[in-house]
Structure 1
Amino acid sequence: MKYKIILLFIFIVSTHASAQNVADSIKLKYDAPVKENFADDWAMLSKYKKENEELGKPKKGEKRVVFLGSSIIEFWKQKDPGFFANRPYIDRGISGQISPQLLIRFRQDVINLKPKAVIILAGSNDIAGNTGHVTNESILDCIKSMSELARKHRIKVILCKYLPVYEYPWNKGITDAAGKIIALNQAIVEYAKKEHLTVVDYFSPLVDDRNGQRAELTTDGVHPNLAGYKLMETVTEVAIKKALKNRH
């Protein structure tokens, strides 16, 4: 009899413990903070959202300039933070982005910051085949749309002749990358000339004899090193001064 009572006691205790574990598990599941799902944020608007809110409006007399692009822009501030820290320049680069993503970000990361000018560096990741189904025409369409948005909001536009790239190390199957960048640059210059926009030439100071980047100025044939960025800074300063004087 005692044996049966002991077994019954053990059964009741174990059943209660099991039920408590299930209850605790359910409680933890519902008490745990819900992780926000950013699956719909294809353009990564979340990356600079808080930073933009903290930045606020430009101060009186501030000639704010936004740098919009992908990894070339994002890494620029990392390689030479002083260039941005000592000037009213805002880095809004996101590594890996293609031109449609820049277009989606344009209102939040450019227009809403109320800059005097914007530098738009777009096209390389499109050409690199990061997503495929991209042509120079589609890249230029995005650049045109961003330019039109900027001008509507009285923001001076600075378009860029893209940096030279002979070959993309992460996608060596892309044929004639150099030729495609040269063709895109020509289309950008033609559009800028037609619309009286300023162009900053990042191609000529960095190019080697095979239309790639000079070895002493790059980390991987695509991204500049500090020396490369220093050359870019020189032509950028000239372009910004020109753009801010431009009446168009």
Structure 2
Amino acid sequence: MDRRKLLAGGVMAGGAILAGQAAAQTSSQAATPQATIPATQVPEASPARPPQPSDAARAVQMAPAPVPSSPNIDWANLKRYRQANAQAMALPAAQRSIVMMGDSITDNWAKPEFGNGFFDANSLTGRGISGQVTGQMLVRFPPDVLALKPRVVHILAGTNDVAENQDPYDPAITVGNLQAMITLARANGLKVIVGSVPPATSFAWRPSRGNQLATIKALNDWIRAACAQQKLVYADYFSVLQGSDGGLNPELGINGDSVHPNAAGYAVMAPVLLAAVKTALSRG
């Protein structure tokens, strides 16, 4: 059997088990939003099998992540945080109460040269991996987030989907993956913060993509609507990072890079995150 189907099936089954364990405690979950991305009609996914007893199982079912056929490739890079996760579980719960799931923007934020110790000072557990798309994060979500049993998860993802790091961009797949992570988190009792995709007018590593600012804005419209409908917290990084041309403010980005914030960029993102965490923790 194709390994793509095997891993997708494993993710579905894992999501169903995780959601089922938490379903008794979360029976009042809100329904999955029907928001669509403006200017991009997102088709409603058809279930591959009869509806399952939990939103989490259905959400994972909607957006199986593509995987390579080689058995030697750790497509989602599950090994990256395996040891760190084991170490984190030995820490007091307060020191792993907020987990940051994301790509290089989250990965860099945890580094001293960019974040200036912001993660350590605020007990943030970084789980970003450079270059990852939302499908890879969905595969990592159980071991890198749920297993740590945090109070809050912060999801900042989508840049590499738009950049087509893995496959041609399909907004239905991206929002399906985001919704799957949201639903799994809520089914396990976590507060959810979803960050807007930062502005970018080009991708240095994939110049053929051209200016995808409108695509990013459309994805952020979906994220904002999903947060409003599901009573999640929306962290608007797009607005504080945007420059006069609509893309990343060059004073807030790495030199010659129109995607990644520099230390000054993370400094303006920090208050947005702290306010979002405060709001999330204040909700019953």
What TM-score does the superposition give when structure 2 sets the normalisation length? 0.71
Instruction: Choose from 207, 212, 221 the match for 2:242.
Output: 207
Report the CA distance between 1:64 and its aligned residue: 1.1
Please name the residue that 2:79 is paired with: 46
CA contact (8 A) 2:103 2:157 kept: yes
**Post-superposition offset of 1:164:** 0.3
Give 5+ residue unaligned stretches, structure 1: 1-36
**From 110, 113, 123, the counterpart of 1:77:** 110
Q: Tell me if structure 2 keeps the 8 A contact 1:66–1:91.
A: yes
Please, which moves more after superposition, 176-185 or 50-59?
50-59
SS of the aligned residue for 1:211 comes to coil
* Bigger Cα Rg: 1
Map 1:1-248 onto structure 2 (within 5 A). 39-56=72-89, 59=92, 64-78=97-111, 79-219=114-254, 220-247=257-284
Name the SS for the 1:115 alignment partner: coil
CA contact (8 A) 1:122 1:139 kept: no
Q: How far off is 1:138 after superposition?
A: 1.2
The sequence identity of aligned pairs, in percent, is 36
Work out the CA distance in 2 between the residues paired with 1:237 and 1:67. 12
The CA deviation string for residues 162-220 of structure 1, in whole angstroms up to 9 with x for no partner, is 11001111111114311110000001111111111100001000101222011100011
Give the Cα separation in 2 of the matches to 1:235 and 1:38: 41
Instruction: State the one-letter code of the partner of 2:81.
Output: Y
Over 3 Å counting, the alpha-carbon distance change for 1:62 and 1:165 in structure 2 is: same
Shifted more, 120-129 versus 61-70: the winner is 61-70
Q: Secondary structure at the match of 2:200?
A: coil
Contact 1:147/1:157 (8 A) holds in 2: yes
Question: Residues 67-87 of structure 1: CA distance to partner in whole angstroms, max 9, x if unpaired?
Answer: 101100111111225111222
Q: What letter is aligned with 1:176? A: N
Between the aligned partners of 1:130 and 1:63, the Cα distance in structure 2 is: 30
RMSD between aligned residues: 1.6
Greater relative CO (CA pairs within 8 A, separation 6+)? 2
Contact 2:99-2:154 within 8 A present in 1 as well:
yes
Tell me the distance in 2 between the aligned counterparts of 1:155 and 1:69: 16
In structure 1, C-alpha distance between the alignment counterparts of 2:240 and 2:87, rounded to whole Å? 36
Structure 2 gaps, min length 5: 1-69
Partners of 1:58 and 1:149 in 2: CA distance:
23
Deviation at 1:132, TM superposition (A): 2.2
> Is the 1:136–1:184 contact (alpha carbons within 8 Å) kept by the matching residues of 2?
yes
Q: Post-superposition shift, 1:39? A: 2.2
